[in-house]
Amino acid sequence: MTEKDFYQLLEEKLTLRLEENEHKALLKEILGWYKEGGSKQVKARLLDRVTLILRGLSEDVE
């Protein structure tokens, strides 16, 4: 089994447990980040996303 096959199988198995299409898309994106750079890449990308969301919310409040 190649690394690509492993990640594809992992995505398929995890996706079966999710009902919402948005959650499936997010899982696929996170697995892509993990393939790119491991857990540090996932942490950095999630931190960036959360920061953008919080900035957006704070701008709406003002």
Tokens of 19: 């009902």
Mean pLDDT of the chain: 86
Cα-Cα end-to-end distance for the chain: 53
Name the one residue in this structure whose structure tokens are 């009902």.
19
- pLDDT surpassing 50 at residue 14: yes
Q: Could you read off the pLDDT of 29-54 as tens digits, one per residue?
A: 999 999 999 999 999 999 988 888 88
- pLDDT surpassing 50 at residue 61: no
Domains contained in the chain, number: 1
Which residue range is the domain that position 36 belongs to? 3-61
